[in-house]
Amino acid sequence: MSESNQKATRPLSPHLQIYRWPVTMITSITHRATGVGNYIGTFFLAWWLLAAAMGQKAYETFQAVAGSPIGLIVLFGYTWSLIYHLCNGVRHLTWDVGAGFKNATAETTGAFVIIISLALTLFVWVVGVAGMGGGQ
């Protein structure tokens, strides 16, 4: 038998580019990414609280950065990251008690989490931030 010859003629291992991306794979990776996103966002949160505690001048500096184009983009991302991780975290917790584990169910809840997190984030920004004038 010559197993060694077979190696050259068949795929050795699956490649990421070959896989169709199932919803469950996307939501899993995104949960980790948003966990790290929330971690980074916490620096912003700490700065905000500290600035509020240190006085008006410190707070105005924070507001200027938060209200700048880059600040607004970061805050928008942080909003979505928190909301997504919250929604998908609840999905994780239902798995932890043994519910919702069927493939079809996990795909449906995954798609739901993506859509609802985007919808809520847009709501906060369109109705909340834009509606109240400027994300100050």
Instruction: Using CB under 6 A, list all residues that contact ligand HEM.
Output: 31-32, 35-36, 38-39, 42, 85-86, 89-90, 92-93
SS3 47: helix
Q: With binding defined as CB under 8 A, does residue 70 bind other proteins?
A: no
* Integer angstrom CA distances of residue 39 from 33, 43, 78, 99: 10, 8, 10, 28
d(CA 83, CA 107): 19
Q: With binding defined as CB under 8 A, does residue 36 bind other proteins?
A: yes
Tokens coding 117? 């997190």
Residues at the contact surface with other proteins, assessed by CB under 8 A: 32, 35-36, 38-39, 42-43, 45-46, 49-50, 52-53, 56, 59-60, 82-83, 86, 89-90, 92-93, 96, 124, 128-129, 132-136
